[in-house]
Structure 1
Amino acid sequence: MTTIDDLVRLVPPPIEPVDAAGDWGRVEAALERELPADFKALVGRYGRGQFADFISPLHPFGTPDLLIPMARRLLEQEGPFRDAYPERCPYSFYPEPGGLLPWAGTDNGDRLCWLTAGEPDSWTVVAWNPRGWYHSAHEQGAVGFLHGWLTGRIHTPVFGGPVEPTPWFDPFRERVHVYVRLSEGELPYAERLRVLRDALAPTADRGSFNEAAEEDGGDDDDMDEDGARQDHFAATDLDWRLTYETAYGHQIRIAYPPGDGRRARDALFDAARRMGCEVLSTSADRGGPRPDGWE
C-alpha cells in the first residue's frame, strides 16, 4: 500500500506549505462525511498547489475553499444529464450513497473523485471527464493514485492528450497566465525549443510529450514536425513556468508572478524573433482580456 511517506520521497513537499492546516471537523461536518486519512495527510504535507503542472487537489482551507463548494454543486450540475442519459452515467453523485465525490481537478477540466462506498480509508479513485462522460476506475486512494501516475505505473485514458507526468509539486502562488500564438518558422521544432530556452536561461526541465515518439517508440531528437509536441520548463531565475508546444496549435504558454507582464512580453517577443517566428496573437488564460503589460 502506497503511503504519504512514499509520495514525499518521490516529490519533496514545500518547506512552508500554503494553507496546510485547518479544521477538518468543520470540513467533515459540512460534507456530512468523514474523509480518508491519506487525503488529510496530503493536504497537511503539501498544502495548496499543483502536481506536475496538471493535478490540483481540491483544497479545503484558505480562500477559496475548493472542496466543499464543488461537492455541494455536483448533483445539481450533473444530475440532469444522468436523468436524460442514464446509460452514460454508471455512478451516483455525492450526496447520494456511494456517490462520486471530487478531491482533485486537472488543467484539462477532468475530475478525480472518490467512490464513497464503505469506510473512507477504503475509498478508491475514479478519473472522470465530465465533458465526454467517460471514466476510469483505479483501486487506489488519492495518495496511491498520485504516486502511481507520477511514476508512470498508473495510466488513465481520461487524461488523454499530451500529458507526460514528472514528479514535482508547486505550492500555490498567484500567477498570470498568457498564451502567445506563433507562426510557423523554418527551423525544426527542437531547434526552436533550444533557442527559446537559451533566451530565458537558466532553465530546468519539467516534462515533455511527443506524440510521434510515443507511438513509434523513437527518440525525441528524431521527431520534429511529425507529431504533436509539448515541452514544459521553468525559467528558474525568473520564477516563470513555460510550455512550448504544437499540441494545441503552435504557441508558448507562460505563467509568471504579477508585475512581470512587460518583462515577460519583451522576453517572449524577442525569443520568437530569434526562433524565426512571428507573434500572431496573445491572450489570457480561458479567453479573458490580455493582462497588463501585453497591450
Structure 2
Amino acid sequence: MTATTDFDRLTGLVAPPAAPVDAHGDWDAAEAAVGTPLPGDYKRLVGTYGWGEFCDFLYLRTPFGTRAHNGVEWQAVRLTGAPGRDRERFPYPPHPAPGALLVWGATMDADRLCWRTGGAPDDWPVVVWSSEGRYETHAMGAAAFVEGWAGGRVRSPLLGEMEPGLAPWFNAFRPRVHRCLRLSEGPLARPERLRRLRGALAPTTDRGSWCSDSGGTGQDHFATVDTDWLLTYDLSRPHQIRIAFPPEDGARVQRRLLAAVGLMECEVLRITDAAGTPLPAWDTVTDEDG
C-alpha cells in the first residue's frame, strides 16, 4: 500500500481541522535543523492536520511554531558505560548513527512515537517507545500507523486501543477558553438532562463516556460538530458542565450554553475557570491547551 493511499484513507476516516495549527513553514529549514530529510507522508500529515491529537490520545508533532511540547527531535539517550545493559535498555544506536530514533509524536501516557532512521526516509518504520522503556516496531510510515491505529487495523499492545464504537477524531492544539458550570440538581433525571443538553448544542459527536456500577457517578464527553467546542457533562453532585472553546466564540457559547441549562431545568450555581477559580461572571480570558 502506498503512502498516498494510506493518507487518503486517513483523511476519509478522520476529518482534518478547518484551521490546522503550526502546519506550515520552511521544510528546508526544518530538515536542516534535524540533519535529515523527512518522510513525505509525514509532511502531508503536518500540512493537513497540524499540531494536535487523534482521539484524545495520539499526539502529532510538527517542526513549526515555538510552543512547548511540539517539534521533531532526536531521542536523547543517557548511556551508563555498560554495553550489555545499555543495549538491553535501549536497543538502538544514539544519534547520529544510522538506526537512531527520531521522535515525531507522543501519547497522553508519555509514550514516544518515533522513526527508526537509516536508508530512504519514506521507508523508515515506526517505533513505539513506551514510557516504561519497552519497544515495538511497525513496518509502515507515520500516516499508515495513525490511520491503522485510529481505524482499529493496527494493534499495538503498548498503546492499547481506543474505546470501541467511537468514530475517530482530531483536535487541533489551539488556544481555548475553559469554563466549568456547577448546576442545581433540578427535577429531571440524568438521561433527560443529557438529552436536552446535547439537543440544544446539536449536532454533536461522541467522545466517550463512563458510568459507575451504581449509576451515581459518570461522565459523558462530546463535541459540537460545527463549532469545535469540547464538552463534558459530569454526574457529580452538584453536577456540572465543562466546556473548552475558541476565544472568539465566547459570546455564542455563553448564549447557547445558558439556554441549554434552562432547557435542563437547572440553574447555574457557580462558574469557574480551568484551575477551579470562581468567576464573578462569564468572561473570555484565554487558557491555552497543551
**Normalised-by-shorter TM-score class:** 0.5 to 0.7
Q: Judge conservation of contact 1:203–1:233 (CA < 8 Å) in 2.
A: no
Q: Judge conservation of contact 1:234–1:240 (CA < 8 Å) in 2.
A: yes
Aligned to 2:24: 21
Where in structure 2 are the equivalents of 1:1-295 lying within 5 Å? 1=1, 2-14=5-17, 17-64=20-67, 66-68=70-72, 71=73, 74-75=75-76, 79=78, 86=86, 87-130=88-131, 132-160=132-160, 163=163, 166-177=167-178, 193-194=194-195, 196-198=197-199, 200-208=200-208, 224-226=211-213, 231-236=220-225, 239-244=228-233, 253-258=242-247, 267=257, 271=261, 284=274, 293=283
1:153-179 Cα shifts (integer Å, max 9, x gaps): 123243358645633334453213457
- Rounded to whole Å, the distance in 2 between the matches of 1:275 and 1:100 is 55
Question: Larger deviation: 32-41 or 184-193?
Answer: 184-193
Q: Judge conservation of contact 2:207–2:222 (CA < 8 Å) in 1.
A: yes
> Which amino acid letter does the alignment assign opposite residue 100 of structure 2?
G
SS at structure 2 position matched to 1:20: coil
- Rounded to whole Å, the distance in 2 between the matches of 1:138 and 1:245 is 38
Cα 1:225–1:12 shift into 2, 3 Å: closer
1:188-211 Cα shifts (integer Å, max 9, x gaps): 87556435424x52241133256x
- Rounded to whole Å, the distance in 2 between the matches of 1:83 and 1:273 is 66
Q: How does the TM-score come out when normalised to structure 1?
A: 0.67
Q: What 5-or-longer segments of structure 2 have no aligned partner?
A: 286-290
Cα 1:44–1:162 shift into 2, 3 Å: closer
- Rounded to whole Å, the distance in 2 between the matches of 1:44 and 1:32 is 20
Q: 1:237 Cα deviation (Å)?
A: 6.0
SS at structure 2 position matched to 1:126: strand
Cα 1:17–1:235 shift into 2, 3 Å: closer
Q: What 5-or-longer segments of structure 1 have no aligned partner?
A: 211-223
Q: Judge conservation of contact 1:208–1:232 (CA < 8 Å) in 2.
A: yes
- Rounded to whole Å, the distance in 1 between the matches of 2:248 and 2:29 is 36
Q: Judge conservation of contact 2:270–2:278 (CA < 8 Å) in 1.
A: no
Aligned to 1:215: none
Question: Larger deviation: 166-175 or 52-61?
Answer: 166-175
Q: How does the TM-score come out when normalised to structure 2?
A: 0.68
Q: 1:114 Cα deviation (Å)?
A: 1.3
SS at structure 2 position matched to 1:112: strand
Q: Judge conservation of contact 2:101–2:114 (CA < 8 Å) in 1.
A: yes
- Rounded to whole Å, the distance in 2 between the matches of 1:181 and 1:79 is 48
Q: 1:31 Cα deviation (Å)?
A: 0.6
SS at structure 1 position matched to 2:247: coil
> Which amino acid letter does the alignment assign opposite residue 118 of structure 1?
G
Q: 1:93 Cα deviation (Å)?
A: 4.9
Q: 1:13 Cα deviation (Å)?
A: 3.2
Cα 1:32–1:184 shift into 2, 3 Å: farther
Alignment length (residue pairs):
269
Cα 1:52–1:272 shift into 2, 3 Å: farther
Cα 1:38–1:267 shift into 2, 3 Å: same
> Which amino acid letter does the alignment assign opposite residue 235 of structure 1?
T
- Rounded to whole Å, the distance in 2 between the matches of 1:183 and 1:114 is 51
- Rounded to whole Å, the distance in 2 between the matches of 1:253 and 1:161 is 25
Cα 1:145–1:289 shift into 2, 3 Å: farther
- Rounded to whole Å, the distance in 2 between the matches of 1:251 and 1:139 is 45
- Rounded to whole Å, the distance in 2 between the matches of 1:158 and 1:245 is 29
Root-mean-square deviation (Å): 4.6
SS at structure 2 position matched to 1:205: strand
Could you tell me the percent identity over the aligned residues? Answer: 43
Answer 1 or 2: which has greater helix percent: 1
Aligned to 2:288: none
- Rounded to whole Å, the distance in 2 between the matches of 1:272 and 1:88 is 57
Greater C-alpha Rg: 2
